[in-house]
């Protein structure tokens, strides 16, 4: 069985011309920095909930829109941005 991390998979997809943005929780920030994936949006959410609380469509939309904005504005590979909004129930 081959184990490929999200960061490595993103780089492979980018090499084939498929743009990527990884949405990850802050707990993985250091690991992702070391992998140098193309674009990463860090959220201040708990593990397993990178786009926000279940059922909170407004917050989830905010996260997805921030990821799409990162597609448009990232000028270099390895761009990491942190979403300032936190997780609330």
Q: Which pLDDT value is given to residue 3?
A: 54
Helix (H, G, I), strand (E, B) or coil at 56: coil
Helix (H, G, I), strand (E, B) or coil at 12: helix
What the block records as the tokens of 55 is: 């059922």
Q: Quick check: is 13 in a domain?
A: no
Does the pLDDT of residue 85 top 80, yes or no? no
Sheet holding 79-86, edge to edge: 22-25, 39-44, 79-86
Task: Determine the Cα–Cα distance for residues 12 and 57; give it in Å rounded to an integer.
Answer: 31
Provide the domain count of the chain. Answer: 1
Whole-prediction pTM = 0.87
Region 72-84 average pLDDT: 90
Q: Quick check: is 6 in a domain?
A: no
What digits encode the pLDDT tens for the residues 14-61? 899 998 999 999 999 999 888 888 999 999 999 999 999 999 999 999
Q: Which pLDDT value is given to residue 25?
A: 94
Q: Quick check: is 52 in a domain?
A: yes
Please enumerate in sequence order all residues whose Cβ is within 8 A of that of 84, keeping only pairs 6 or more positions apart, or say none: 44
Domain of 53, in residue numbers = 21-86
């Amino acid at each position: 069985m081959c184990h490929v991390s999200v960061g490595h998979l993103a780089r492979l997809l980018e090499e084939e011309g498929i743009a990527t943005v990884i949405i990850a929780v802050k707990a993985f920030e250091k690991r992702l920095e070391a992998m140098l994936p193309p674009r990463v949006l860090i959220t201040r959410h708990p593990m397993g909930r990178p786009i926000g609380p279940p059922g909170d469509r407004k917050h989830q939309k905010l996260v997805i829109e921030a990821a799409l904005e990162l597609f448009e504005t990232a000028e270099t590979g390895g761009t990491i941005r942190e979403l300032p909004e936190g997780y609330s129930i």
